[in-house]
Amino acid sequence: MAKEKLTLDKKTTWKRVFGYVKKYWFAIVASFILAAVTVALSLYIPILTGDAVDEMIGPGAVDVHAVLSIVAKIGFAMLFTAIAQWIMNTCNNYVCFHVVRDIRKDAFEKIEILPLKYLDGHAAGDIVSRVIADVDTFADGLLMGFTQFFTGILTIGGTLVFMMIYNIPIALVVVGLTPISFLVARFIATHTHDMFQEQSKTRGEQTALIQEMVENQKVVRTFSQEEAVKTRFGEINDRLQRCSLKAIFYSSLVNPCTRFVNSLVYAGVGIFGAFLAINGGITVGRLSCFLRYANQYTKPFNEISGVVTELQNAFVCASRVFALIDQEPQVPEDEDAVTLGEASGNVELSDVYFSYVPEQKLIENFNLSVQPGQRVAIVGPTGCGKTTVINLLMRFYDVNSGTIRVDGNDIRHLTRGSLRTNYGMVLQETWLRAGTILDNIRMGKPEATEEEVKAAAKAAHAHGFIKRLPKGYHTVITEDGGSLSQGQKQLLCIARVMLCLPPMLILDEATSSIDTRTELKIQNAFAKMMEGRTSFIVAHRLSTIREADVILVMRDGNIIEQGNHESLLAKNGFYTNLYNSQFAG
């Protein structure tokens, strides 16, 4: 498998973000207009303040009426500015969180159609980190960009225009000092991107480890791996601390550096304006207006520099999410894919070749013909390809060559949903979801009544322990089954299949976690359930498959022996050795 591209380049990421943002152009236009209104009013207030100062210069020259009139105008300007800012922020929030919703939706939908090969080869925690933590970080950066970027750019441009109108020499002083801010912003942006990229990658690695340890804490403690896990976590945590510290160090340079530039601009305007005022080139009120403009002009550079730094982090996180979204999905269904009705159960595998990794051969020249209602057991040593055959039957993986047919239909030309609906599957690894026992059992048949669920649970010998739970069938469990034992969880999975009763069954070590006494009862229930249904049984305990119509003995991906229990024992071959090794005592 080719190595996955973990992130996208900056240009591609910008294009992808723009593709999501442009759908909400109306809110962006409204935000831009409101930003212009806010900036215009903010720039108008210093002019009014300067006029008020000029109305109070000189002893006995205070025009109270004029000052009060100006103060009223300032009050109205501030009120309208506040309203415009509130509506603008509402628009920004609307755009930001709709974009985040869309990205997260696309990421989750892609996970649903990713091939199992991808999910098997990547840490679940890293995928979760991309969809949750990285998208949250992107949201914070995007919101800051919308909130401060438009206003900052307009404030810089508007301030320059106002200053040019009222006094060109002072405006030129401000413009002359501006390149320092650009140099500072460029230096910081250049140094922070790679650091934030490393930080995001390491954070995903840490999330993956934490999730792995939480889910497998019993295994960790069983094998006394606490110290080894702590050491591994400490190494990742230290690495995250180092790369985060570097990223934060450079990003934290924004505030002091831009404040230094702000002070230079303010001092330049103050000194040059003072000389002009002494020589009568500008009034004191107008100079106070320019000093206010100097602050308003330089403040956006401070904010924009901070926004650039946050956007570096945000777009690194976005690129990781887009890299997930851009993964090749599973092979799409044919446009003319057939919907399989209720299958009769005829399954045929012809010249099937398959391997998970090209350089490691697994299944070669596999041929099998199963008649409706037959019970087919698959046995063999670990790693011989038993579960792989099941994955191919369910089309979790596609064959490299050859064909698999159900009722004469190549499964690659069937819809996946209709194919899998015809199989009832119980695996060695149980899967439950957060919810009630009732909901978990009728997952494959949501319309089932409570009585039907109870009947299925009784058939699976799960009814007894369910009734002992605090709320019986309405007891809420977590996604890992909570306090239920492994055997109880497996009984729920068996009950789930018994409720649906599809025409074909797959039992992959379905009773591996159940005690011997219950297993005998379950075997009887299975025998009744398998009557008239094509069944594939993967088993290590050969005592469970004696009644199978056909037993396939596999080794190294090939069928080396085939027959029923008695005929295979009579051959005195590999199956006989397997059987005798289990019952030698």
% of the chain surpassing 70 pLDDT: 89
Torsion-angle region of 414 (φ positive above 0: left; ψ -120 to 50: alpha; else: beta): beta
pLDDT at 182: 67
Whether the predicted model's global pTM rises above the 0.85 cut: no
Q: How confident is the model at residue 61 (pLDDT cuts 50, 70, 90)?
A: low
Distance CA 89, CA 39 (A): 14
- Higher-pLDDT residue of 31, 514: 31
CB-based contacts of 236, cutoff 8 Å, min separation 6: 202, 205, 206, 209
User: pLDDT at residue 286 above 80?
Assistant: no
pLDDT tens digits, one per residue of 175-215: 777 777 667 666 766 667 677 777 877 887 888 788 777 77
Task: Please report, for the chain, the start and end positions of each structural domain, with discontinuous segments joined by +.
Answer: 10-325, 334-422+530-585
pLDDT at 403: 92
pLDDT tens digits, one per residue of 233-248: 888 888 888 888 877 7
User: pLDDT at residue 585 above 50?
Assistant: no
User: pLDDT at residue 468 above 80?
Assistant: yes
User: pLDDT at residue 5 above 60?
Assistant: no
CATH number for the region 10-325 comes to 1.20.1560.10
pLDDT at 380: 81
CATH number for the region 334-422+530-585 comes to 3.40.50.300
Q: How confident is the model at residue 83 (pLDDT cuts 50, 70, 90)?
A: very high
Q: What is the mean pLDDT of residues 108-121?
A: 82
pLDDT at 2: 41
User: pLDDT at residue 294 above 60?
Assistant: yes
CB-based contacts of 80, cutoff 8 Å, min separation 6: 37, 41
341-380: buried (b, 16+ CB within 10 Å) or exposed (e) per residue? eebbbbbbbeebebbeeeeeebbbebebebeebbbbbbbb
pLDDT at 79: 92
Cα 118 from chain centre: 14
User: pLDDT at residue 13 above 70?
Assistant: yes
pLDDT at 3: 46
Q: How confident is the model at residue 368 (pLDDT cuts 50, 70, 90)?
A: confident
Pick from 129-133, 426-430, 446-450, 451-455: least confident: 426-430
Whether the CB-CB separation of 392 and 354 falls below 8 Å is answered with yes
pLDDT tens digits, one per residue of 403-418: 999 988 888 888 888 8
Q: What is the mean pLDDT of the chain?
A: 80
